[in-house]
Amino acid sequence: MIAMPHLLFLTVVFAAGLIAWILDLNRWDTPTAVAGTIVAGLGAGVFLGVWL
């Protein structure tokens, strides 16, 4: 039971990073891009955790 939310969370974080890489975030500095990706992944992971 506890593994599924963690798996979904890690999948969302990976997907957020992949999307950020695909969109080529060179127009922002690296710390901003990394922080935005982490926050997006955490937010989506929390949403999925609450929803499930």
Domain boundaries, the chain: 8-13+27-52
Give, in degrees to the nearest 5, the angle at Cα 46 between 41 and 52: 125
Q: Which amino acid is at 4?
A: M
Long-range contacts at 36-40 (CB < 8 A, ≥ 24 apart):
38/13, 40/16
**Which stretches of the chain are DSSP H helices?**
3-22, 30-51
Q: pLDDT averaged over the chain?
A: 74
Query: Residue 44 is encoded by which pair of tokens?
Result: 């989506």
Residue-wise pLDDT tens digits, 16-41:
777 777 776 666 677 777 777 778 77
Assessment of whether the complete model's pTM goes beyond 0.85? no
pLDDT tier, 12 (very low <50, low <70, confident <90, very high otherwise): confident
